[in-house]
Each structure stands twice: as structure tokens, then as C-alpha cells.
Structure 1
Amino acid sequence: MRSKKKISYLLLILFFACIGAVLLGKVLFLSDTTATQEIIPITEPKPVTTENTAPQTANKSLIELIRAYGDIPLIDAHNHDASDYKYIRMKNMWETTAVDRIVLFGDVSEPSAVKTDEIAWEAYRDRPEVIIPFFSGINLLESSGVDAARTMLEKGYFGIGEIAAASTNSPVLSKVAWKTKDPMDGFLPQIYELCAQYKAPVLLHIDPPNGFVIEKFKDALASYPNTTFIFAHANAFNSPGNIRELLKTYPNVYADFFAGFTAFNPESSNKLKDFIPVMKEFPDRFVLSTDSGFGLKSEEQAIEGMYRLIDELGDKKIATMIAYDNLYSLIRDQPATTTQIEAIRKLDNGKIQTLNLEKLTKLEAGEILVGKR
């Protein structure tokens, strides 16, 4: 009897348990359906991550940048590869990275620069369509430096520099023998006059890019308005605002932009994008350079910096001006020298008779004298 009652109780418990399970399952099902209905309509975008907001250029390789912008002509406006004949080893790199022309010199404002100036000239004779020789091996502290500069410009060099007009912080140029204290020191004023006479630019190293030496640089810009000055690696340890002030106030100064420094050197306090507004305001007053990759892991990385700057600009017309036209116009517009014209007259070449030597440019004269025309 007790067994039957016990069984009956168990059956009753199982019955209610089954009913409870069904009801619980329904509740859970409805609860799950409700939750699903609440989730489906939500279409808010995912939070934007740092990766998504990074500049587009940062995701492009050098090869991709060259494919995109290799059709833009490119001049490296500041290159030291005459030192140790490095330019020979760089030939393939320049071709691979679509660098069209190189302003070439070597050592700076010291006796060893006399030899590297000669090497730059050898490179020019070998490839006049690529190499634009500048020189730096002149003593800025003696009048003989002015005479040497005149001789070099007469020969056919296209510009003076890089020369150390002031240097306190540079681990290299602060120690060179022929540097001046400031951009108006030594025989620099006479050299500026010479540059105006030959319409040749002068590439000045000035550090630090502030304080007394910059005030003296402004003095030089104002005192020699017919001289074209190029402020070497103007963006290094400098602000866009400072560069803008110079360009706005002095129409005879160009900013040499070492893009690799801003793009890759951890000591840079700016990004490439910080300089874009100034470049777009003064598109005819910037030139691009590698400085042979000084302070970077390689010169190739410095070339990559130039392409990343072009990408940041987002304007091929302005990019072409900055990458090529501005510097080339300074080279193209120089008149042939008396020395060049006399040398051309001595050539036994029928083509010479058809030339108007009075209107000949230094560029054209150089091509003739190195036997390329």
C-alpha cells in the first residue's frame, strides 16, 4: 500500500516536472526571440580604430608609391654622394626609384670638399642628363674662397653648397674648418653677390634654425634680394610656422625639404601632413631632397620619404612643382659663362655655327662641352 502511494507521488511529481519543463522552455524560447529581435535592428558602425584612422600613405609600400607617382619627375636637391664615389653605387637605386636628377656634391666647408667637388664634376661629365654639380670646397673665411667660387661657377657648376653658414648642434658640420659663425660672417656677403651675378643658388646649412643665426640669415635675405638662397633641410628641427614666415617675408628664399627626416626620424616633432598647408600656400618655393639619408637607416628610406610627401600632397600639379620644376628652373635659367662660351668657340663642330651663343644657357653649354650634343 505504501509502495503504491509512493509510486503515485512520484508519478505526480514527474507530471508537474514535465509541465514545468515545457513552461520553462517556452519562457526561454520567448526570451531568446525577444533578445534576437532587439539585436537585429542595431546597425551602428563599429568604433573606428587607430588602424583605420592612420594616413593612407602609411599603408603603401615604396614600390606602390613608385607605381603611383613614378611618372612625376623627381630631383634630389641635396645629395652628398660624391663622397667616396658613392654616386656610382647609387646609380641602380636612382633608376629603380625613378629619381631623374641629383644635385651632387660631397663634403662640406672643409679642405676635403675640394676633392669631392672634383668627383661631382666627374659624375656630371659621365651623366650630364642626370647629375647637377654643386660645390662646397671653398674657404668662407678668406678672400681666396671668393676667387675659388668664381672659378667653379665659370667652369660650369650650377650652384654653391652645401656650405656651413652656421653650425652649433651638427655632430659633423660644427667641427668643419671653413664654417662661418653666422650667415653674414666671413666672406659670405661677397659670395652672395657672386651668386647673384651668375644667377646660381646658394645652399646654406644653418643650425640651430632659430635665434641669432636665423636673424642673421634674415639680414642676408634682405641685404641680397637678387641672390637665390636655399635653406638646407629647412624642416629639420624646425616648425611649419617658422618656414612660412621666411617664405612670406623673403621672396628670394627656397625651403629644401628633407622629407625623410620628418617621415622617419624619431627626433622629428612634426609629421609630413603638418607641412602640407605651407607647401600649398607657397608651391613654387619648396624643393625635395634626401640629404643622402643622413640620420636614417638608408638613402633608400630618404627617397621613400619624398614619395610619401608627394602622396600626402594629394595634388600632382603641386607635387610636380615641388619635386622637380622649382629646382630645375633655377638650373635652366642660368646663362652660359664666358669661360664656357670661349671653350665652345674652340670646338670643331658644325652645329656650333647655328647656335646663338649670347642666349646660350649654362645647361646647354654644359651639354655641348661634355660631348653630348
Structure 2
Amino acid sequence: MLYKKAVLVLAAVIVLAGGIVTGRELFILNSGKDQQISSDNISKEAAPVSASAKPPSTIPIKGLADLVKEYGDLPLADAHNHDAGGYAYMRMIETWKRTSVDRIILFGNVSDPSAVETDAIAWKAYEEYPALVIPFFSGINLKDASSLEVVKLNLEKGYFGIGEIAAASVNSPALRNVPWKTDHAMDGFLPQIYELAAQYKVPLLLHIDPPSGGPVYQLEEALEAYPDTQFIFAHANAYNSPDNIRQLLAKHPNLYADFFAGFTASNPESANKLEHFVPVMKEFPDRFMLSTDSGYGLKSEELAIEGMYRLIDELGDKALARKIAYDNLDALIKYQPATATQLEAIRNMKLAAGQTYDASGLTKVEAAKLLLKKVPK
């Protein structure tokens, strides 16, 4: 009897357990599951979702073509370009058209005897493409008095600015050993050149490195001593902080910042991002201009053009973007007065044609348009 009772109890337990299991599986089936849940499955379902987990971004990254399509209606000027060297501008013409770059401050080599030749190439490019090219010159020996005569002759001819010139360079592999550079911004014949620049109302594009310490203190000395001279700090954002630029612009109203956007956007050595400079640009909207530096240190010059567009996109304000992309530089160029040499050439040209001409009040841009008409193509 005891044996039978034990068997019956055991059978009841088995049936009861089977019912529990069967009931659990039925619950699972009714819940839409088509298989038993293992302990692994239970632990996976119970694991909480990380609060930091975010779905992947679905916003596509804009390419250069997208940026040109979006902002190509804005005029765009490259305030710092070395493509007179080796006639590189000739292979860039189509790229500039495709990427809607409207004006180019063009020169070649810097503070080196070879710059005399590239200055001449920049002028030739201007004669070929006067609506595109704005010629600057750099082929002057900053420690020789003869540089002053070269500056006068070039400005009288119609060049629109001086530079890039190596006013101070310690770190740059390209410029620290060039023979015609100065040690600092008040060295050599730079003070007299600043006076000539003010007289002709042309800007100077100065290379200063490092962009801190002694070289910048001496730049500030020049800015204060020559308040009527317009200084452009070349690639001011390279290896420099927004706060340093802000302090300089706040103290010196005759200083402009050439912003090499491609450096900040694409050079891994940049400690900043484009958005870090936007607040200071909004604070000084009339004092920035964009440039490519011909893509120095980047994979290509086109990547540097893309950097300019990425900065425009980052600004998020088309009115501000137009100032920085074009208007600020244009204002330094279009109001320059015609030179005595240009005016004399125009009078002689008109006299030869049996005409009289009142050339008073002409700007350098207007005078150049008249004179370039007679340049043989």
C-alpha cells in the first residue's frame, strides 16, 4: 500500500509539473512567440537598453558639389593664392569655374628672388583674366633699400596689394629660410613699406609665425605705429586660437584676418574646428576673409576650396557669409585710387585717339579696365 501511494503521489507531481510547463509554453505561444524561451533569451530580453545608445545619423554629409549648389550664388573670393608659381593658375581655371570661385588674390613665391618672376606671372594672369585675378607681389628684398623703389614701381603699375611677405618666420618649412624675409614685423625696410602701402591705400598680406609671443608683439607694434595701413594676417587661424584672433582684432581696427578654412577643416594638426571660430566672426563680421593658401598642407587645392564652403555652411547666415566670403576683401580693392602712372597712360591713350578724357576720380579698378583693353591678347 505504501508503495502504491508513493507511486500515485509521484505521478501527481509529474502531471502537475507538466501542466505548469505546458501552461507556460501556451502563454508563450499566445504572446506571439513560436519557440520556448531559454535562460539566454530571458537574460537578453531583460537587459536594459543603454541610455547613451543613439541611432546612426541619417543626415548625409554634404560634398563639395552639394555645397556649391547650395551656396554658389554667393560671390566668393580667395584672398591668398600662390598659383602664379609654375603657371599653376592655368590648370585651376576650370576648377574655379566649376566651384564658383569668383576672384583670386594671386601671387607666387614669397620673399625670395624667384618671386620677381612669379609676380610677373601674376600680372600676366591678370591681363588674361581681369575679372578673376587680383595681382599682388612679393618679390622684394625686405632688408635692402632698393625694395622701396620696387614697391613704388609695382604699385604705380597697378598691383592691388603687397604680399604675401615673410615678415617673421621661425617654424614654417617653406619660409623660415627664404633670403628676403625679415626677422619681425618692424625689421628691415618694412616700416617704409607700410608708409607706401598707406599712401597707395593697398593692403599688406603678412606671414607671421609663430602666431604668438614676440612675432605678434612686434606685429602689434606695427599696427599701432601705422594706423592708416591695412594689414592682413595671413592664415591667421593656422596654429592659432579664436581667442588670440579676437584679442588682436579688438585692439587693432586696421587688422584683417585671412582665414585658411581648409586648414581648420581638413588638416589633422588643427586644434580647432570651424565652429570654434564662428563666434569671433560674428563679433567682427567686417574683418575676416577666406582663402585657400593654394591648399598648402592639404591633399589638394580643391579640398581647400571645399573648406571655404564648409565655413560658409557653418556660419548659417548668408548675409554674414557674403561679407566674409567676398565683400570685406572687395572693399579693400575697389576703392583704391588710380595711380599717377595709370592716369598718365590713359591721357596718352586718349590723346593718341584724338580724344580728351577727364580721368580725375578714377579708381584703380576703373583705370585698369580702360588700360587692359589695349593689351594684346
TM-score scaled by length of structure 1: 0.88
Per the alignment, residue 146 of structure 1 pairs with: 148
* Preserved CA contact (<8 Å) 1:105 1:136: yes
* Preserved CA contact (<8 Å) 1:165 1:205: yes
Per the alignment, residue 71 of structure 1 pairs with: 73
Q: Distance in 2 between matches of 1:351 and 1:239?
A: 57
In the TM superposition, what is the alpha-carbon distance from 1:27 to its structure 2 partner? 3.2
Matches within 5 A, 1:5-20: 13=11, 20=17
- Identify the match of residue 137 of structure 2 among 135, 140, 157: 135
Structure whose residues are more often helix by fraction = 1
Deviations 1:119-158 (A, max 9, x none): 0000000010000000000111011101100110000000
1:185 alignment partner AA: D
Structure 1 187/253 Cα, relative in aligned 2: closer, same or farther at 3 Å? same
1:217 alignment partner AA: L
Per the alignment, residue 189 of structure 1 pairs with: 191
Among all aligned residue pairs of Structure 1 and Structure 2, give the percentage whose two residues are the same amino acid.
59
Q: Distance in 1 between matches of 2:55 and 2:171?
A: 36
Per the alignment, residue 3 of structure 1 pairs with: none
Structure 1 51/143 Cα, relative in aligned 2: closer, same or farther at 3 Å? farther
Q: Distance in 1 between matches of 2:299 and 2:314?
A: 22
Matches within 5 A, 1:204-219: 204-219=206-221
Matches within 5 A, 1:1-373: 13=11, 20-30=17-27, 47=52, 49=54, 52=57, 59-348=61-350, 356-371=358-373
* Preserved CA contact (<8 Å) 2:140 2:147: yes
Per the alignment, residue 40 of structure 1 pairs with: none
In the TM superposition, what is the alpha-carbon distance from 1:99 to its structure 2 partner? 0.4
Per the alignment, residue 38 of structure 2 pairs with: none
In the TM superposition, what is the alpha-carbon distance from 1:23 to its structure 2 partner? 3.5
* Preserved CA contact (<8 Å) 1:260 1:301: yes
Structure 1 295/18 Cα, relative in aligned 2: closer, same or farther at 3 Å? same
Deviates more, 1:58-67 or 1:201-210: 58-67
Q: Distance in 1 between matches of 2:258 and 2:351?
A: 39
1:120 alignment partner AA: A
* Preserved CA contact (<8 Å) 2:347 2:357: no
* Preserved CA contact (<8 Å) 2:261 2:304: yes
Structure 1 130/50 Cα, relative in aligned 2: closer, same or farther at 3 Å? farther
In the TM superposition, what is the alpha-carbon distance from 1:180 to its structure 2 partner? 0.3
Structure 1 177/249 Cα, relative in aligned 2: closer, same or farther at 3 Å? same
Deviations 1:224-257 (A, max 9, x none): 0000000000000001000000100000000000
Deviates more, 1:355-364 or 1:276-285: 355-364
Deviations 1:310-367 (A, max 9, x none): 1111111100000000001100010000100111111248999696522110011111
* Preserved CA contact (<8 Å) 1:166 1:205: yes
2:22 alignment partner AA: G
Deviates more, 1:25-34 or 1:210-219: 25-34
Deviates more, 1:26-35 or 1:104-113: 26-35
Structure 1 312/185 Cα, relative in aligned 2: closer, same or farther at 3 Å? same
Q: Distance in 1 between matches of 2:244 and 2:305?
A: 25
Q: Distance in 2 between matches of 1:286 and 1:134?
A: 18
2:20 alignment partner AA: L
* Preserved CA contact (<8 Å) 1:83 1:116: yes
1:176 alignment partner AA: V
Q: Distance in 2 between matches of 1:335 and 1:49?
A: 59
* Preserved CA contact (<8 Å) 2:347 2:356: no
Q: Secondary structure at the match of 2:186?
A: coil
Q: Distance in 2 between matches of 1:372 and 1:319?
A: 37
Q: Secondary structure at the match of 1:287?
A: strand
C-alpha RMSD over aligned residues: 2.9
Deviations 1:19-43 (A, max 9, x none): 643432323444787899xxxxxxx
In the TM superposition, what is the alpha-carbon distance from 1:273 to its structure 2 partner? 0.7
* Preserved CA contact (<8 Å) 2:156 2:341: yes
Deviations 1:271-302 (A, max 9, x none): 11110100010010000000000000110000
| Uncovered stretches (5+) of structure 1, i.e. residues with no partner | 1-5, 37-43
In the TM superposition, what is the alpha-carbon distance from 1:261 to its structure 2 partner? 0.5
Structure 1 352/337 Cα, relative in aligned 2: closer, same or farther at 3 Å? farther
Deviations 1:54-110 (A, max 9, x none): xx7x81111111111111110000000000000001001100111001000000011
Q: Distance in 1 between matches of 2:328 and 2:195?
A: 22
* Preserved CA contact (<8 Å) 1:256 1:286: yes
Q: Secondary structure at the match of 1:163?
A: strand
